[in-house]
Amino acid sequence: MSAASAVESVVTLRVERSGALALVQDGGRLGVRHLGVTQGGAADWVSLGWANWLLGNAPDAAALEITLGGGLSLKVEQGGTLALHGADLAATLDGEPLLPGRAFTVTTGQVIKFERPVTGLRAYLAFAGGLDVAPVLGSVACVVRDGLGGLDGEGRALASGDELRAARNELSLRKLPQAALDWQTGLSPADQEAAIILPLVVGAQIAEFSGDSLYRAFNSDWVVDGRADRMGVRLTGPRLERDGAGMVSEGIPLGAVQVPADGQPIVLLNDRQTIGGYPRIGALTPLACAQLGQCVPGTRVRLAAVTPGQARRDYLRALKAWQV
């Protein structure tokens, strides 16, 4: 096979309809916050990792993050194998249900559509070798606000007419292990009335909050507000009160739980600003951030304090699962 025909043989999709919000994402743009550049990357990095794992890719390889579905329609211009994991967005392949958690074959002319959330909020469509996209500052992660990453390097969301091409035509198909299936099941808990537990490492300005506020913070259900995006998620519930002077802005980690003047927490996620001046009660663990990234507005959550050591062990356990 010639080099030209090898390039032509990789899976290629054409965007027929762009949907609500579809972005190219990978593991994120790390090591650049000192430049005022946020990290971006997959909101649910666990689902991204498993979608890539199904094809034998690196866990942080570039893929398509699809939020809400919104009628996104992709036409296959060159067939091959793709993988889907994360939220169930009522996806179909030529009208037939396409469930997450599996690799699947497409042929030229077929159409993949994503409609609406059934469980979860974000799905990840993986390509062999990842998407063939040029990195900006070491990553292809699309951050619309900063105008960085994505298909053209300028932070643009997917639009009709865009072409999505796999980086290679070689793949290593795998069957999902129990750890991935457990994560998928967690997007649709058996007890729909139970709050989702979000582990949090306490710290920062927590000592400046009243005892009553801290009791309410960790013993009350919070509701994911409709004011939520890749930058942050507002939680509504009891008012948290702090006694303390004004703050000098400081660096903001992933999952930071800020409490502005209205006493309603805001969890800062992948597209957050790099510094902030609101007091924080701590930060969600990396796994909790991935969970929150799948919570639709109206979902009830509860914060649970954990030690840094426990957060690290849970994180390493998740990474180790990809070595199966």
What value does the mean pLDDT take over residues 289-303?
96
| pLDDT at residue 191, as a whole number | 62
What value does the mean pLDDT take over residues 266-282?
95
What value does the mean pLDDT take over residues 209-233?
95
CATH of 196-321 given 3.30.1490.20, 2.40.100.10, 3.30.559.10, 3.30.420.40: 2.40.100.10
In this structure, the strands spanning 111-114 and 92-93 are antiparallel
Q: Inform me whether the pLDDT recorded for 160 exceeds 90.
A: yes
Boundaries of every domain in the chain: 3-186, 196-321
Region of residue 294 (left: phi > 0; alpha: psi -120 to 50; beta: else): alpha
| pLDDT at residue 123, as a whole number | 97
Phi first, then psi: what are they for 124, rounded to 5°?
-125, 120
What value does the mean pLDDT take over residues 105-124?
96
> What digits encode the pLDDT tens for the residues 193-215?
789 999 999 988 999 999 999 99
Whether the pTM exceeds 0.85: the reply is yes
Of 46-60, 146-160, 190-204, 207-221, which range is least confident? Answer: 190-204
What is the number of residues in the chain? 324
The sheet with strand 92-93 has its strands ordered as 96-97, 92-93, 111-114, 72-78, 12-17, 163-165
pLDDT band at 192 (very low <50, low <70, confident <90, very high): low
Q: Inform me whether the pLDDT recorded for 234 exceeds 80.
A: yes
Nearest to 75 by CA among 26, 113, 128: 113
The token duo for 102 is 């599996």
User: pLDDT averaged over the chain?
Assistant: 93
